[in-house]
Amino acid sequence: MDILSNLLIGAESALSMANLFYCLIGVLLGTAIGVLPGLGPTTTIAMLLPLTAGLPAESAMIMLAGIYYGSQYGGSTTAILINLPGETTSLVTALDGYEMAKRGKAGRALAAAAIGSFVAGTIATLIIALFAPPLAALALSFGTPEYFSLLVLGLVSSIVLAHGSLFHAVAMVLLGLLLGMVGTDVNSGIARYTFGIPELSDGIGFVPLAMGMFGIGEIIANLEHETSRQTLVKKVNGLLPTREDLVRMTAPVLRGTVLGSVLGLLPGGGMLLASFASYSLEKKVSRNRAEFGHGAIEGVAGPEAANNAGAQTSFIPMLTLGIPANSVMALMIGAMIIQGIQPGPSVMTEQPGLFWGLVVSMWVGNLMLVVLNLPLIGIWVKMISIPYHFLFPAIILFCAIGAYSLSNSTFDIYLTAVFGIAGYVLRKLDAEPAPMLLAFILSPMLEEYLRRALLVSHGDPSVFVTRPVSATLLFIAAALMVAVFLPVLRRNRKLAFQDAD
């Protein structure tokens, strides 16, 4: 009954005319962004953060969430039509979706992606409603040592699941922690790491950092690789799957939903991992395994269900624990902070309309995606052909306006430009900036819980290992670090011996 009453609270919030409008704007923007290769939800949400400051908290979060899971759907359109995924999570969809399009089945492939995403989104929303409350109740029983250890585990997990070099990931986390410490120390009132710049006394703004790293940096990188994009089909027909298609899709969609729901909880690349895992599983268990790579509808429906389910369940650690599972969730936490809301388990009790309204809006948004996006496929096809050099000046202008409007400070524009250049350099060095953003968000909380725990224990650091839950979380974090670094160290040692010989 508690879940039913909570969902009724959420329905009252999500089904208001204002929030339905913002949900619609979110899913349409998300689909459009997902369709355009080179842009993504991280870049878009980073650019739109300043706009959310003037919206009610519920409307802002509902719109940003719609952008997120809408982009997961939109990325499949370019993957199927031009073999160029708009989102990394749609990489797997391109394998069989593009082959189906080449055989004149583009409409059926797009329908499979849409239906798979809707079913997975619906089930994942129910999972959030069922499992988020007990997880939040457990988190409310945590003390400061447990919260510190939990945040450490979150940072370690982001290192383990980051793309590219592990040493780069560690460096990015340390850089994020340092950037999060810039500003005035709460206890002593002394400015630190400000280098005498008065504008930094309140710390580095989250919006300039996010827009620079993920907005400007991404734009500069995309300009290097702009290519002419030709759609495979100018007009898409046959948007209804056949009965045989539905039979072949059912089991892959359900299996993909289960995989995505579990892996979406993992910090880092849970959704991408879910897509690949779903494709690999279907390739092994399908009766039509010979068709994989040549246009198997299971290879479209399963991964699309997995990545959409992962996108939904990644909200669970963000909403209940205040720990982001990926860079988009870090931005969502930033949006909550801008709204004056402290992320964590208290959100469910202090802001029930926000929490449950966001949950119910996910189902509403997924329904909107199915009802609206298939009829609008012609518009998305035309958008794919827009040259990127026409888009980037408007995007940069929008970033500059957003950076200035939040606090009416030109310094924030300069800061955005500096972080934009830094983001581009990091990409050239194959250093993924996402772990840095997660560390930047968690740094103030990590420091706060560390100080509180040491204050309560009178400076005794053993408090982190003498409390069972805290010790278990730290042990898991240490085990993950050892497990992921041992192969690297062994390989480096082997290469060193070979060089010596």
Calculate mean pLDDT across residues 17-43. Answer: 81
Q: How far apart are alpha carbons 253 and 258 in whole angstroms?
A: 9
Q: Rounded to 5, what percent of the chain is helix, strand, coil?
A: 75, 0, 25
Mean pLDDT across 379-404: 72
- β-bridge mates for residue 184, sequence order: 191
- Per-residue pLDDT averaged across 66-88, rounded? 73
With a pLDDT cut of 90, the percent of the chain lying above it is 1
pLDDT of residue 21: 92
Helix residue spans in 184-322 (DSSP H): 206-210, 217-224, 243-263, 270-285, 298-313, 315-321
Return phi, psi of residue 424, to 5°: -65, -45
Q: What CA–CA distance (Å, rounded) separates 158 from 4?
A: 34
Q: Above 50 in pLDDT, residue 169?
A: yes
State phi, psi for 192 to the nearest 5 degrees.
-135, 140
Nearest alpha-carbon partner for 11 in 356, 290, 492, 349 = 356
Asked if 210 and 441 count as a contact pair (C-beta separation under 8 A), the reply is no
Query: What is the per-residue pLDDT across 176-235, written as a single tens digit (0 to 9) for each?
Result: 889 988 888 877 778 888 888 888 888 888 778 877 887 787 777 777 765 545 545 555
The confidence band for 496, taking pLDDT boundaries of 50, 70 and 90, is: very low
Task: Choose between 234 and 329: higher pLDDT.
Answer: 329
Q: How confident is the model at residue 493 (pLDDT cuts 50, 70, 90)?
A: very low
Token digits of residue 156: 């370690």
Confidence of residue 407 (pLDDT cuts 50, 70, 90): confident
> Residue 193, exposed/middle/buried by CB under 10 A (0-12, 13-18, 19+)?
middle
Using pLDDT thresholds of 50, 70 and 90, give the confidence band for residue 162. low
Return phi, psi of residue 191, to 5°: -70, 140
Statement: residue 307 has pLDDT above 70? yes
Residue-wise pLDDT for 224-283, tens only, equals: 765 545 545 555 666 677 788 788 888 888 998 888 888 777 665 566 677 878 888 888
pLDDT score of 112: 85
Backbone angles phi, psi at 246, to 5 degrees: -65, -40
Q: Region 85-90: what's the mean pLDDT?
A: 63
* β-bridge partners, 191: 184
d(CA 266, CA 314): 8
The yes-or-no verdict on residue 498 having pLDDT over 70 is: no
Q: Higher-confidence residue: 408 or 13?
A: 13
Q: Which residues of 227-266 are buried (b: 16+ CB within 10 A; e: fewer)?
A: eebebeeeebeeeebeeebbebbeebbbbbbbbbbbbbbb
**pLDDT averaged over every residue in the chain:** 79
Give the pLDDT band of residue 161 (cuts 50, 70, 90): low
Least confident of 190-194, 224-228, 471-475, 478-482: 224-228
Helix 144-160 vs helix 434-456: angle between axes, to the nearest 10 degrees? Answer: 160
Residue partners of 203: CB distance under 8 A and separation at least 6: 180, 182, 183, 184
Provide the pLDDT for residue 266: 67
CA pair distance 401, 431, nearest whole angstrom: 28
In the prediction, which pLDDT does 20 show? 92
CA distance 56 to 208: 22
Nearest to 241 by CA among 303, 283, 298: 298
Q: 271: closest CA among 91, 29, 434, 480? A: 91
> Once rounded to an integer, what is the mean pLDDT over residues 450-473?
87
Q: Say if residues 72 and 307 touch (Cβ distance below 8 Å).
A: yes
Residue range 128-155: mean pLDDT, rounded: 80
Rounded mean pLDDT of 345-372?
A: 84
Residue of 222, 207, 269 lying closest to 45 (CA atoms): 207
Question: For 426-445, what is each residue's pLDDT tens digit?
Answer: 888 888 787 888 788 888 88
The DSSP element (H or E) to which 407 belongs, if any, is helix 388-407
What's the pLDDT at 500? 45
Look at residue 411 and tell me whether its pLDDT is greater than 50: yes
282 class by beta-carbon count within 10 Å (0-12 exposed, 13-18 middle, 19+ buried): buried
The b/e string for 298-320 (b: 16+ C-beta within 10 A; e otherwise) is bbbbbbbbbbbbbbbbbbbbbbb
